[in-house]
Structure 1
Amino acid sequence: MIAELQCTVLDCPDPAALARFYAAVLGGDVDRPDRRWATGDGWATVHTPCGQVLAFQRVDDYRPPRRPDPARPQQFHLDFAVPDLEEAGVQVLALGATLLDAEGAERGWSVYADPAGHPFCLVRH
């Protein structure tokens, strides 16, 4: 095992509103204090009763997906908590991932794409 699933992140135009929607659907706490994330205008979270965390990230000029239109695909990414960001990066690259953004490593995370191009983040645990 390389990582632990930390949360699922959905792109959206209004993170707080979408967090309230999912909290109403699933139950849970919106923006519960959590050392892993800072909430604000561009980010919101829902801690569900089952322990899963959903996060919502503001995207300017957001265009909602239109399933099954490949020109407007579904939009989300996974965050994986790792104890050693550099070592986990080496391991996922060996499995076929592609590094998309290494600058985040200074902030505590790096962005990769899986072999099919879906983005995911490795986040220092």
Structure 2
Amino acid sequence: MAVATMGVTVLDCPNPRDLAAFYAAVLGWAVGKDSDDEWVDLVGPDGHALAFQRSEGYRPPRWPSTDMPQQLHLDLKVPKERLDAAEQEVLRLGATLLEGDGGGKRGWRVYADPVGHPFCLCAC
């Protein structure tokens, strides 16, 4: 028997509303109505949730690095035929490309969100 079930994934950041707006645009999820300046929830399908918590003195991870390690990253699935369009959209929204797909040799590309959290667009 499981001890617990998975709840929300929470990302620390300097401004929860701004980072939530970025991921809301990327995922097409809605901002929860109980959100405030310290904590913002995004509500997705099937009970999925992602939250953003204000962290004073936030320092972004550096990818790849052991000095300021990422500690986690998000893998976001994208249909293979939409990978290039998805990349253009996340870049327009404020992401930074960290590592490409090796000229199509790999099925993922690595980005940093506007405050430095790494995430991947993964072809599915």
The TM-score normalised by the length of structure 1 is 0.52
Q: 1:74 aligns with which of 70, 74, 89?
A: 70
Paired AA for residue 20 in structure 1: A
Paired AA for residue 16 in structure 1: R
Q: List, as ranges, runs of 4+ consecutive aligned residues in structure 1 with deviation greater than 4 Å.
A: none
Alignment of 1:1-125 (within 5 A): 1-33=2-34, 39-75=35-71
Where relative contact order (Cα < 8 A, 6+ residues apart) is larger, the structure is 1
The TM-score normalised by the length of structure 2 is 0.52
Q: Distance in 1 between matches of 2:22 and 2:48?
A: 16
Q: Could you tell me the percent identity over the aligned residues?
A: 51
Q: Pick the structure with more strand per residue.
A: 1
Structure 2 alignment gaps of length 5 or more: 73-124
Paired AA for residue 42 in structure 2: V
Structure 1 alignment gaps of length 5 or more: 34-38, 77-125
Map Cα deviations across residues 46-103 of structure 1 (whole Å, 9 max, x no partner). 0013431001011111111101111212256xxxxxxxxxxxxxxxxxxxxxxxxxxx
The number of residue pairs the alignment matches comes to: 71
Query: Are residues 75 and 17 of structure 1, via their aligned partners in 2, closer, same or farther at CA, if it must alter by over 3 Å?
Result: farther
Q: Distance in 2 between matches of 1:15 and 1:26?
A: 16
Q: How large is the RMSD of aligned CA atoms in angstroms?
A: 1.6
- Check conservation: 1:10, 1:75, Cα contact below 8 A: no
Task: Name the residue aligned to 1:80.
Answer: none
Query: Are residues 24 and 50 of structure 1, via their aligned partners in 2, closer, same or farther at CA, if it must alter by over 3 Å?
Result: farther
Q: Secondary structure at the match of 2:64?
A: coil
Query: Are residues 19 and 75 of structure 1, via their aligned partners in 2, closer, same or farther at CA, if it must alter by over 3 Å?
Result: farther
Q: Secondary structure at the match of 1:17?
A: helix
Q: Tell me the CA shift for residue 6 of structure 1.
A: 0.9
